[in-house]
Amino acid sequence: MLARSLIQAVLLIMLARQLGSDVFGGWVAITSLALLVGMLASMGMGYLVLLRSGQGFARGRVALSAGLPWVLCCGLPLLMLYLLLAGMLFGQQLSLTVLLLVGGTEMLMAAPTLLLTLRLQGCGYPGTAQALYVVPPVLRLLLLLVVAIAGHPLAVEAFALWYGVSALFTGMVAWGLCRRHGLMPQRWRWRLRWPHLHAGLVYLPTRICAFGATEIDKVLAPLVLASTLAGSYALASRAAGFVLLPVHAVLAAAQPQLAAMARADRKAFMRKSRAGLLMAAGYGVLASTIVAVWAAPLLGWLTGGKYPDLATAFLALALALVPMVLRHAVGGVLLPLGKPLLRVSGELLGMAGLCILMPLLAGLGLLGIGVALLLSEVLALCVLFAGLLPGFKREAVDAD
């Protein structure tokens, strides 16, 4: 995971240098929108394939035989939907060729590749699966290194083409590895049974809302800000996103223990959760301070001074980092408690608030965007925390 994060960080910096602030905000917006729409293509089938693969070789093969055709069939109409949305929102900033390449990559190539990768992971090949996750960013980074060494400017159309080629290559490798290890089904099930679809759909809303709450501001930024400001905000937001990686890593490692504790000893679970949330708040304050003070000079130097509004963008994001960290932490605690719908509701409410507040406060520039992000994060956090408050109250009464 550390190697993958470092590759993504270097890729972010080099791509930002090549595209410049005028184009980078639009590029981040269309890729974020493509990732959000692309999640609908899988309908949660990735979770089903991973779960069934862990339950037995034959069950995993059946899940893949149902999931892969479904993803391929859903990809084309979702690509049409993406082109309609992206064309309406960003058609004046980026060409149809770029939109088609990015949308086709996520809807028709990345989604099937994810199923094959999860099949490998669930069948005892976690190292191979992790390597496949790294292949697309490594290939894209290689292109940027070649362009940087050659000293030529990189057209966004050229990078969009390579964006798709790298995903196609990864999909072909994943397909070949699954065939080599005998993980591919003998026949395909083009009629998806309701138990399969239901198992995936139960998981899908939680994943989409968690991802959407992190990405929706990047989609909205080019619509309410000037292109240079949107580029600075997109770069700062992507960089600040690395702050959340330790939170995600801790939550992922603690989920099995938290789930067992929630079933066996609810009081101990609430005590541990309270301590974890206090630590998350402290980490959020520390991360917010670092982002506000040191991130802009460092990233400005690494990107060659092409983003003059980075300091203001990082200051705006620092306003919302503490409630953002706490939202992720509280959301991770709610899942072992069996309250995924509450998490989905809180994150949906936060996204709706952001969609309303960002256009209203965009007149104040990047700081207005920061205030909108802060208010939406606090709104979502209040809803999520409401699910933990009764448990904390009972624990306090029992302690007395």
pLDDT at 54: 63
Q: What is the pLDDT of residues 44-88, one digit of tens each?
A: 676 677 766 666 656 666 677 777 777 888 888 999 999 999 999
Residue 276 has pLDDT above 80, yes or no: yes
* Whether residue 307 has pLDDT greater than 80: yes
pLDDT at 121 over 60: yes
214 compared with 13, residue with greater pLDDT: 13
Structure tokens at 86: 């992206």
Predicted confidence at residue 393, as pLDDT, reads 61
For every residue of 79-134, DSSP letters joined together read: HHHHHHHHHHHHTTTS-HHHHHHHHHIIIIIIHHHHHHHHHHHHTT-HHHHHHHHH
Q: How would residue 184 be classed by pLDDT, with cut points 50, 70 and 90?
A: confident
Measure the CA–CA gap between 351 and 293, rounded to whole angstroms.
Answer: 28
Mean pLDDT over 305-326 rounds to 92
- pLDDT tens-digit map of 122-155: 887 888 888 899 999 999 999 999 999 988 888 9
The pLDDT value given to residue 118: 83
Query: How sure is the predictor about 28, in pLDDT bands with cuts at 50, 70 and 90?
Result: very high
Place of tokens 């991973």: 50
Per-residue model confidence as pLDDT tens digits over 360-396: 999 999 999 999 999 999 999 998 888 777 766 665 5
Which residue did the predictor score with more confidence, 57 or 18?
A: 18
Percent of the chain at pLDDT exceeding 70 = 87
Mean pLDDT value of segment 331-335: 81
How does the average pLDDT of the chain come out, rounded? 85
pTM for this entry: 0.89
- Per-residue burial over 176-213, b if 16 or more Cβ lie within 10 Å, else e, is ebbeeeebbbeeebeebeeebbebbeebbbbebbbebb
Local confidence band at 226 (pLDDT 50, 70, 90 cut-offs): very high
Compute the distance between CA of residue 29 and CA of residue 26 in angstroms, rounded to an integer.
Answer: 5
For range 22-35, the mean pLDDT: 94
| pLDDT surpassing 70 at residue 220 | yes
**192 pLDDT higher than 80:** no
More reliable by pLDDT, 124 or 201: 124
301 CB contacts (<8 Å, ≥6 apart)? none
Q: Is the pLDDT of residue 278 over 70?
A: yes
Residue the block writes with tokens 């920061």: 370
